[in-house]
Amino acid sequence: MIRGIKNIKALSNKRFISTANTTTKYASLSNGVTIATESNPHAKVSSIGLFYGAGSRSEHAYSNGISALTTNILGSGLENGVLLTSENGKETNGIIAQTTNDNIIEASKIIAKIGSNASEIIKGSEFELFKKQLIGQGEQLESVPQKMILEHLSASAFQGYSLGLPTLGTSSSVKDLQVDDAERLLEKHLVGSNVVISASGNINHDELVETIESSLNIPQGHKPITKPASFLGSEVRMRDDTLPKAFVSIGVEGEGFTSPAYYVAKVAANVFGSFDSKATNATLTSSKLSSMVHEYHLVDKFQHFSTSYSDNGLWGFSCEVSNVQLLDDFIHWTLKEWNRLSVSITDAEIERAKQQTKVQLLAELNSTKSVVSDIGNKVLLSGYRNSITEALSKIDSIQTKDVKAWAKVALWDKDIVISSTGQTEALMDYSKWRNQMAMLRW
């Protein structure tokens, strides 16, 4: 409802448990596996996850989908009150067990068992059934235009590199996957230094470490090298006149997890935030862009994002527009606002965006599952996870000039990537939008 918060519905619907801020305890096992736990006395559900670095980025066009498929097989089932689910990203995969607090030791034994016998579990599984389910998941994603354009945005931005591959694979690549492919993946990626086990809930760190240490058997091994990726300014249009709107996303190359400008990019995205023309506060929200677009109903919804991978990212917006004849007005004003980040953004706008970034950061960690996933991903991709206090003070120290400096380097006159579906005939050609990334005068 409030502009500036991505995915507000998910935030407000989920349980709020304030887990964000307790200290994380770490332990390293002799085989290189990192264990990280956060205790939260208020949690009703405890979660423990095994995360390993792989994801679609570790694949190639013919094995695309294998990490998601393997993880889906390992992370599924309900046994004795322990629910197994999986989480698949572009660079990591996770098997997460959720259970009631008193049952967490049982859950950690199950996680250790899966980690130790991954290859046997794959061999004994209904491989073909899981392939069908994964293809179904991919089709589901493609059927939601808002999600589909984002997947194609990164496919176009990182084309030619494995980072551009779809997270869940394609129906044709998944169809041909074999059990051998899964075993090769596990052999290479499920190795000590590439595995993080994270847990959150009403739990005891030492007890958990002991359980895992005694029952987890993962071979030692080096973290595989992350495949390179570089950003290419480009455009992809998937015209579909059966859809009632135009769905467009435009991005530039963003910041990686380890980038010093990681939080600056987040704050910059929150300067414009998000907007929903049907929310009761649509006409009231602060960003200049939202006040420009609401009066003439240029846009139904828009949302800015700063997505990060280990060494690069995507920064931009996605929107849905039912007044398609006004689509070029909306994009024009949005890009002109982006220009303003480099030249005339005000202190008040940055202050607001900073506060919103802080609350957003804290509020996102609203379930033990999201905490577990946050720890797993950050530790795998950047080697460590900074404390919330550190994150907040980093955001506090950002000044207007820092955002301007970032925008001059990352945004001003930079190549863009465009992805769209629906009534794309209303979208002007690439060079027009590329030219709007700078102004001749201001």
Tokens of residue 341, six digits: 């980040």
- Interface region with another protein, contact rule CB under 8 A, candidates 20-28, 257-265, 319-327, 377-385: 20-28
User: Among candidates 206, 202, 208, which has minimal Cα distance to 102?
Assistant: 202
Tokens of residue 416, six digits: 């863009």
Closest CB 53 distance from another protein, rounded Å:
25
Nearer to another protein, 84 or 148 (CB): 84
Could you say whether residue 17 binds another protein (CB under 8 A)? yes
Cα separation, 189 vs 55, in Å, equals 10
Nearer to another protein, 245 or 354 (CB): 354
Window 384-403: residues binding another protein (CB under 8 A): 388, 392
Could you say whether residue 63 binds another protein (CB under 8 A)? no
Nearer to another protein, 358 or 404 (CB): 358
Could you say whether residue 197 binds another protein (CB under 8 A)? no
Measured from the Cβ of residue 225, the count of other Cβ atoms closer than 10 Å reads: 7
Closest CB 42 distance from another protein, rounded Å:
6
Could you say whether residue 12 binds another protein (CB under 8 A)? yes
User: Among candidates 428, 237, 395, 433, which has minimal Cα distance to 306?
Assistant: 395
Measured from the Cβ of residue 294, the count of other Cβ atoms closer than 10 Å reads: 16
Could you say whether residue 68 binds another protein (CB under 8 A)? no
The amino acid that residue 238 corresponds to is M
Q: Report residue 276: phi and psi, to 5°.
A: -130, 115
Closest CB 393 distance from another protein, rounded Å:
11
Window 339-368: residues binding another protein (CB under 8 A): 348, 351-352, 354-360, 362-363
Q: Report residue 250: phi and psi, to 5°.
A: -130, 135
Could you say whether residue 243 binds another protein (CB under 8 A)? no
Cα separation, 295 vs 332, in Å, equals 16
Cα separation, 322 vs 244, in Å, equals 7
Helix (H, G, I), strand (E, B) or coil at 154: helix
User: Among candidates 409, 432, 41, which has minimal Cα distance to 200?
Assistant: 41
Closest CB 392 distance from another protein, rounded Å:
6
Among 11, 141, 155, 243, binds another protein (CB under 8 A): 11
Tokens of residue 268, six digits: 């910059």
Cα separation, 379 vs 395, in Å, equals 20
Closest CB 189 distance from another protein, rounded Å:
25
Could you say whether residue 141 binds another protein (CB under 8 A)? no
Helix, strand, coil shares, percent, the chain, to 5: 45, 20, 35
Nearer to another protein, 173 or 303 (CB): 303
Could you say whether residue 306 binds another protein (CB under 8 A)? no
Could you say whether residue 322 binds another protein (CB under 8 A)? no
Could you say whether residue 103 binds another protein (CB under 8 A)? yes
Nearer to another protein, 348 or 409 (CB): 348
Could you say whether residue 281 binds another protein (CB under 8 A)? yes
What residues are paired with 79 via a beta bridge? 82
Q: How many residues bind another protein (CB under 8 A)?
A: 54
Closest CB 263 distance from another protein, rounded Å:
14
Beta-strand pair 34-39/195-201: parallel
Cβ-contact 36, 24 below 8 angstroms: yes
Among 72, 92, 99, 370, binds another protein (CB under 8 A): 99
Among 33, 35, 45, 246, binds another protein (CB under 8 A): 45
Instruction: Catalogue the long-range contacts made by 428-433 (C-beta closer than 8 Å, 24 or more residues apart).
Output: 428/328, 428/331, 430/234, 430/235, 433/250, 433/331, 433/335
Q: Which residue has the tokens 């955002």?
A: 403
Could you say whether residue 47 binds another protein (CB under 8 A)? no
Among 10, 16, 214, 346, binds another protein (CB under 8 A): 16
Nearer to another protein, 78 or 343 (CB): 78
Closest CB 175 distance from another protein, rounded Å:
21
Handedness of CA 296, 299, 301, 304 (dihedral sign): negative
Please name the helix (run of DSSP H) or strand (run of DSSP E) that holds residue 222, with its range, or none. none
Closest CB 172 distance from another protein, rounded Å:
24
The amino acid that residue 166 corresponds to is P
Q: Quick one: DSSP state of residue 225? A: P
Could you say whether residue 292 binds another protein (CB under 8 A)? no
Cα separation, 413 vs 395, in Å, equals 26
Among 154, 285, 334, 420, binds another protein (CB under 8 A): 285
Contact letters (x/-) for another protein, 250-279, by CB under 8 A?
----------------------------xx
Contact residues for another protein, defined by CB under 8 A:
1-5, 8, 11-12, 15-18, 20-22, 42, 44-45, 76-78, 80-85, 98-100, 103, 278-286, 348, 351-352, 354-360, 362-363, 388, 392
